[in-house]
């Protein structure tokens, strides 16, 4: 391994980790920019919170609330904006 965080793999190809990390960061930036153009990213946070509260399916064990069912949180994966709205919603904290 040399000083620029590169290494050689079995077939003689060199891998530069810094370059790969920079590309990963650029991919994330471009995905965020693309997602910001989608209509789902334009829904106001207040409306999203209201809708999310109806989409939560509680898991009840022995008559006590045990959290959310696994299928109840797929909306977290729609886009980063929706994830951030959920993170800032008191009902989902904890």
Phi-psi domain of 67 (left: phi exceeds 0; alpha: psi -120 through 50; beta: other)? left
Q: Which helix (H) or strand (E) segment is 58 a member of?
A: strand 58-61
pLDDT at 18 over 50: yes
pLDDT score, position 24 = 93
Tokens of 71: 């299928």
CB 24 within 8 A of CB 30: no
Q: Model's pTM, two decimal places? A: 0.48
pLDDT at 76 over 70: yes
Q: Cα(94)–Cα(92) distance, rounded to whole angstroms?
A: 7
The average pLDDT across 43-72 equals 72
Pairing of strands 14-16, 6-8: antiparallel
């Amino acid at each position: 391994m040399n000083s620029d965080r590169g290494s050689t793999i079995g077939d003689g190809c060199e891998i530069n980790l810094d370059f790969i990390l920079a590309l990963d960061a650029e991919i994330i930036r471009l995905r965020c920019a693309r997602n910001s153009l989608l209509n789902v990213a334009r829904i106001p946070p207040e409306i999203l919170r209201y809708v999310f509260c109806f989409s939560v399916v509680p898991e009840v064990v022995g008559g006590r609330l045990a959290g959310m069912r696994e299928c109840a949180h797929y909306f977290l994966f729609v886009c980063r904006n929706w994830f951030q709205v959920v993170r800032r919603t008191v009902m989902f904290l904890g």
